[in-house]
Amino acid sequence: MFNRYKRTLIGLFVMGCLSAMVYGLILKETDPTLGNSYVGFGTLFLFLIAMPVFIFSEAKGKKIHDYMLTEENIKKMQGKSKNNKKKEDKDSKTIENL
> Which pLDDT belongs to residue 64?
76
CA distance 27 to 21: 10
HEC readout, the chain? CHHHHHHHHHHHHHHHHHHHHHHHHHHCCCCHHHHHHHHHHHHHHHHHHHHHHHHHHHHCCCCHHHHCCCHHHHHHHHHHHHHHHHHHHHHHHHHHHC
pTM above 0.85, yes or no: no
Q: Are 37 and 69 part of one and the same domain?
A: no
75 and 49 in a common domain = no
Is there a single domain that holds both residue 70 and residue 33? no
Q: Are residues 21 and 56 in the same domain?
A: yes
Residue pair 45/17 in contact (Cβ under 8 Å)? The answer is yes
CA 36 to CA 33: how far, in whole Å? 5
Q: Reply yes or no on whether the pLDDT at 1 is more than 60.
A: no
Closest CA to 66 of 50, 57, 77: 77
Q: Is the pLDDT of residue 98 over 90?
A: no
Write the pLDDT tens digit of every residue in 20-77: 999 999 999 999 999 999 999 999 999 999 999 888 888 777 877 777 888 888 888 8
Q: Which domain holds residue 51?
A: 1-62
Mean pLDDT score, 74-94? 66
pLDDT above 90: residue 96:
no
Query: For the chain, what is the domain count?
Result: 2
Shared-domain flag, residues 58 and 70: no
Say if residue 38 is in the same domain as residue 53.
yes
